[in-house]
Amino acid sequence: MRMHHDGYLRFLVARDGTPDPGRRTLARRETFFADLAESPVRSTTSIDRAAFLRNLDRRRPEPGLEPRVLWLLATARANQAERFGVGLAELYGRTASAEDPVGLHVQLQEVYHTRILADVVAVFGLQVSQQPPGAVTRAMIHLMVRAPGRWQLPLVGAAEMVGCALFSVLGDRGRELFAHEPAVANLIGRLFDEILGDELGHVGLIASLLGDGGRAAMRRLYRLLAQPLARQIPAMLPLFGRRGLRQCFPADFRPDLMAADLPGLAYVAAIP
């Protein structure tokens, strides 16, 4: 496990650059965003802004919304969970220091995820909601932050697995929906791949810290929690349909195979 841990740290240093805990930044991530800012991409697709705003904080989207609006709603709500989890961990003092370089990189990556998802929505001249996620998601995040370590790891690992599947399908659907705007589709894919690469790394890290029993628990929790957590993002069901939503979370989740499609973005230390 130590060998996997060291390999993951070397990967993180090469990918992220130097972490700055005080400013909550990673040097190479800042360079990434600076490059994006130099050549901003904005969609020219007509989006029903009023429908997006009306439904952003609804527990159930109104019927008849077109797929692009549903996809934007799902992306914006995914940001709520990421932001809530980061804020709650900070509130309870669950923050890593320079003495735990792997943990520090992972926590700072999560901070960037909220920024990335907000940037995706901003491509369409929209903003994410500042509301907290749904009750089930809040309860799960509270449990993950406050649970004892031996119970925490399988639960957090399962949630990371759900996140991997979620960001993978949202990225793919975004590419499809805006394929008529190649620059927009490419940027959507690039931003979601940034998050997905990180999440796959987190899954591998947690799996490397668990024994066979812990990994088995992680897989069982993933299968148990995938649908309830996905349905906490209200637009997911009308966007994918019941059957499609089930297919978004395959039982034979393989982070190593997903990482193979993201060279330089993902390092999977172990398979759950």
Quote the CA–CA distance of 118 and 79 in Å, as a whole number.
Answer: 7
At 143, which helix (H) or strand (E)?
Answer: helix 135-146
Structure confidence by residue, pLDDT tens digits, 258-267 = 999 999 999 9
Most trustworthy range by pLDDT among 57-66, 80-89, 167-176? 167-176
Domains and CATH numbers, the chain: 2-18+49-260 (1.10.620)
Structure confidence by residue, pLDDT tens digits, 105-128 = 998 998 899 889 999 999 999 988
Quote the CA–CA distance of 119 and 256 in Å, as a whole number.
Answer: 27
Residue in 17, 172, 24 with CA at minimum distance from that of residue 87: 24
Radius of gyration of the chain (CA): 18
Reported for 259-266, long-range contacts at CB under 8 A and 24+ positions apart, including other chains, are 259/197, 259/200, 259/204, 262/193, 262/196, 262/197, 262/200, 264/15, 265/15, 265/193, 265/194, 265/196, 265/197, 265/198, 266/196, 266/197, 266/198, 266/200, 266/201
Instruction: Enter the pTM of the model.
Output: 0.91
If one compares 119 and 142, the residue with the highest pLDDT of the two is: 119
**Per-residue pLDDT for 154 more than 80?**
yes
Beta bridge partners of 19: 26
